[in-house]
Amino acid sequence: MNTCTSRMSIVWLSSLCAAAGAAGCASWDPGADWTGGDAPPELVSEALEALMPRNSLPAQALAAGALLEDRPLLDLLRSSALGDPSLADDLASPQLNANARSLLKYVVSCALDPGRRVSAWEGELGLCGAASPHGDWFERPPSASCQEVVSACVLARTNALGRKVRLSTRSNEDSALFPLLPVVPVETEYRDAGDPPIKSLNAPCAAGATAGDPARDCGWAGRHVGTCTPKARVVLKPGGPASASTRYFMVRVCNGIHGCDHRTMAPRPWYSGLVAEGVLSVDGRSGTTPELGFICPDAGVPGPSSFAVMVASPHPAEAPPAAADVSAAGAAAIYPAPEDKVFTFREGAFYGNLFGAVNPAPKGEMLSYGQHACYSNVWSRPMAHFTDRLCAGRDADCFGNPPGACLSSPEAPPRPDLARVCKGERNGSYFGCAAAAGRTPWNHVITVFLNHPCDLAGDLIRCQDAFAQLSPPGP
């Protein structure tokens, strides 16, 4: 995908691109007559995907021992422009261990614009990209603020199991680099590396597939995520620009933010699964219905539930109509729902500097040296959550810098000076967060929101037990 640093000429995406700034934009020439209603869905998804990171960096890459071993690499990155040709040979060296390669992947992903490459790694979020206020790391060595914001990004995207979990990352200090998106694309892959693909979204239909069969697991495309009131009846009707191609198409609704198959693997992921499917039309043709109704799933936590919409052509050999989509009737659902309505559980904040000094020696493996985190007030047992997320369930002794309460918590922090480590919050994002109360705060803090509080849990049963007394989502 090509980068751009100014507004796109595409009307429907122009506000998104302008908000994204350094995060990059896809290039596409719609033609002089294009009005904004028929943007290719794959282009829209690509542009949105580039602005919503996944949490999938294995925690061992940030363990104290790994960082000490990779100190020469971190020092080299801190003193170099990522686009410097002389750096390419060092980064492509077969002597780089697996942890160093994982860390490099996420440093480059957080720092550079889409389309910028450094050896085998590609930019994604552009936090130190061509239009970033922190300077362009591709062209020159990183500023102190660039090191901080990239470090916070890398920390936020770390978990002990290396799963691909979609996050909503926000920042009070760098809000222009973390725009809240107007729609959330459907996830097309499950989280774990060993999970099978979602066939419906990744396989064309073979010859002989039945026409007009909404139960077929091929030839589907993801659209967007909606939200709904748990246990309420939701009604979806054909939506989008009216045209002959959108008057007759198939719709599937899945639980959560992931797509799904009709015939789901066993055991199916707890966070996904079929809710409803059917063939919609606006002209009452045989075998179709003018609307698709379903009962909103109950996620078992406060706040709305999420549902994912997929569409397909009734004809197996045809791609889904580009403009085919649905709209929600009534007050029980919002479709498509904006990012801040889909990701409502504020996990906590991450901050620090991976590229700073390594002394004194850390007392624990995770959150060592200049890495820090704090938890929000939605957790009834916050330390259990963070040890599960970063330490694969080990006890709190795994932390060199124990996480504290960002502002407040129902559980007492491990030390009195960890009771309130941030100065405050604006629009849901924490700011002025420090290693401990009274210490110098970091200037660049990333706040993470989750779609479901157990998204990053290693053990769902343990998570449900530990966080059964959740506070309402938000501040």
What residue type is assigned to position 345 of the chain? Answer: F
Residue 283: is its pLDDT beyond 70?
Answer: yes
b/e map 465-475, b = 16+ CB within 10 Å: ebbeebbebeb
Q: What is the pLDDT of residue 14?
A: 39
Residue 202: is its pLDDT beyond 80?
Answer: yes
pLDDT tens sequence across 47-67: 555 567 778 888 999 999 999
pLDDT tens sequence across 386-437: 988 898 877 768 999 999 999 998 888 889 999 999 999 999 999 999 999 9
Q: What is the pTM of this model?
A: 0.88
Residue 243: is its pLDDT beyond 60?
Answer: no
Share of residues in the chain with pLDDT > 70 (%): 83
Q: What is the DSSP string of 81-116?
A: -TT-HHHHHHHT-TTS-HHHHHHHHHHHHHHSPTT-
pLDDT band for 439, please (50, 70, 90 cuts).
very high
pLDDT tens sequence across 80-136: 999 999 898 888 888 889 999 999 999 999 999 998 999 889 999 999 999 999 999
Q: What is the pLDDT of residue 373?
A: 96
Residue 266: is its pLDDT beyond 90?
Answer: no
More confident residue, 130 or 282: 130
Q: What is the pLDDT of residue 335?
A: 96
